[in-house]
Structure 1
């Protein structure tokens, strides 16, 4: 089954042709040959279009579309899922890339578990130049609950998505499930997390493999970095999404774990954007996120809240400085 199974590798891209080459070359070098590579180009110029024409035009596995006008992150990814013709779908962003056996490794899990719907594994963390540190990579994966003890079919598939164990790319899933869930255009830069959570909540079988199958590149121009301090922060959207979810009682501990990670970020965000009452409310409703006062971040955040209570004119700030209504 694994050799005959067609895998659609979806690659959204935006103004990064120099990094896209490494991504596409890693896809074309996969040990599993039955693939198609779908590219959705949201770029504001024609550099990527020219690159594809010059370097990949004669490779039938490449299926390129230049979006006009640009679709935005969520709709671009959703359009790639809709175009996919494979039995399985894998996602890799333009600045990331697969190990040479990444697709084969993930696909082999279906041979062992025919009812499997979603599979993922570890990601190397690399810098802008592709250099990786094994110790840092291991620590990052461990921080997202990816470790030896967690390997296997997940007892609670939904928990896997809620606690951010599921990665933003480098995963594989049944195409029909991916198309049904798809990416939402109403959650901004949080669309990766929301998709992962909803995908795992909808799946009956999710497998985590404690093995590296992809490389995640950290750059200075990441979307999360550009919006981290603003009202459109992915942390705030994720916090609101998790808080409002209707969940089975068995998943309430997972919700609590997810909010424990997110709540302090939201408190800081509200305080820095002159919404002290909202910050105080989140901090005390989710006091467990601060180990009930044993975490030093609580007192730092309380100092930010206190400062936000001082009228802006006394801090030398114009009224328009606030980013929250």
Structure 2
């Protein structure tokens, strides 16, 4: 008999999108499946949107009063799940048809793995898939054929974000054991933090070289990405790693260093911005670039002026980036 699977969907004020997410799970045709929705919304619009599924017991629904916020909401779902395996699915993302059966088969083939995941389609807010952006998204996060199969170094998989923020399948017991940490501990970098700690508690992950989920790039997700890069940088800097992964850490820090400085300056925390700027993760090549010199100048400006200049400079950077052929890709928490 196939393994029992729980699809866990935390949601907040997205009744239309969460219905799409639920439908993508129910239409899998998987024989041993339950779908949980944990709702932090302040109104009953989501409950009404899901009413028929709830009445037919196709969806198990819980309304949180007061709201639990992201980490506690996810942890509640981990503990409500009765399946041997679970999938965490964001309320604006989708499962690809057949994904559950394909991911569950990875655990049957290799019971030693803790988690399995596949490639993600990139889609816009209206759900339109962009294949070229999808290829770029997966290449960026090492979800390519050459890396398919058992990931014997799960920490590297989590460190480079090959392990995705959602759409993955994980053993329920280890998901409960690791759990999400709240904002007081990791800020908004909670998905990355979970992936890193899951990796530390795991023997291996499994990457399936097939599309299993669709990631929706909304305005909210892009804004969230811009707003917590400083927390991601700090988390990557602090995480304990084996020596052989230090070069990988350095590469990842260099990706986040420039936006992390901008975030700290926007928040008025010049000391933290300066610490990032002077760190090995920023690097001399970056400091001597046009961007690096501009950020150095911002650090020398009076605080009020530097805060006012960050947004226009970021807008100029985005304008220049938009003229390049590569798609705009965002990660969300």
Give your verdict on TM over 0.5: yes
Partner of 1:71: 68
- 1:239 and 2:236 correspond: no
Partner of 1:322: none
- Of 254, 272, 276, the residue aligned with 1:278 is 272
Give the structure-2-normalised TM-score.
0.85
Q: Encode CA deviations 1:186-225: one digit per residue, 9 max, x unaligned.
A: 3232111111111122110111122110111111233x61
- 1:115 and 2:112 correspond: yes
Going from structure 1 to structure 2, the CA distance change for 1:191 and 1:292 (only over 3 Å counts) comes to: closer
Partner of 2:244: 250
> What are the residue-to-residue correspondences of 1:196-215 with 2, within 5 Å?
196-215=195-214
Instruction: Confirm or deny: 8 A CA contact 1:120 1:208 kept in the other structure.
Output: yes
Cα displacement (A) at 1:102: 0.9
Q: Encode CA deviations 1:23-62: one digit per residue, 9 max, x unaligned.
A: 1111001132211111100001110111222x21233341
- Of 150, 153, 156, the residue aligned with 1:153 is 150
- Of 94, 113, 127, the residue aligned with 1:97 is 94
- Of 27, 40, 47, the residue aligned with 1:49 is 47
- Of 6, 25, 28, the residue aligned with 2:23 is 25
> What are the residue-to-residue correspondences of 1:161-176 with 2, within 5 Å?
161-176=158-173
Going from structure 1 to structure 2, the CA distance change for 1:69 and 1:208 (only over 3 Å counts) comes to: same
Instruction: Confirm or deny: 8 A CA contact 1:161 1:201 kept in the other structure.
Output: no
Measured in 2, the distance between the counterparts of 1:144 and 1:61 equals: 34
- Of 102, 116, 128, the residue aligned with 1:131 is 128
Cα displacement (A) at 1:295: 4.5
Measured in 2, the distance between the counterparts of 1:315 and 1:57 equals: 52
Measured in 2, the distance between the counterparts of 1:294 and 1:315 equals: 19
Cα displacement (A) at 1:288: 5.5
Going from structure 1 to structure 2, the CA distance change for 1:74 and 1:286 (only over 3 Å counts) comes to: same
Measured in 2, the distance between the counterparts of 1:140 and 1:34 equals: 31
SS at match of 2:50: helix
- Of 31, 34, 37, the residue aligned with 1:36 is 34
Going from structure 1 to structure 2, the CA distance change for 1:293 and 1:188 (only over 3 Å counts) comes to: closer
Gaps of 5+ in 2: 309-333
Instruction: Confirm or deny: 8 A CA contact 1:271 1:301 kept in the other structure.
Output: no
SS at match of 2:9: strand
> What are the residue-to-residue correspondences of 1:292-307 with 2, within 5 Å?
293=287, 295-306=289-300
- 1:179 and 2:158 correspond: no
- 1:263 and 2:260 correspond: no
Aligned residue pair count: 306
Gaps of 5+ in 1: 318-325
RMSD: 2.2
Cα displacement (A) at 1:226: 4.8
Instruction: Confirm or deny: 8 A CA contact 1:154 1:206 kept in the other structure.
Output: yes
Cα displacement (A) at 1:270: 2.4
Give the structure-1-normalised TM-score.
0.87
Instruction: Confirm or deny: 8 A CA contact 1:123 1:141 kept in the other structure.
Output: yes
- 1:191 and 2:190 correspond: yes
Measured in 2, the distance between the counterparts of 1:295 and 1:177 equals: 44
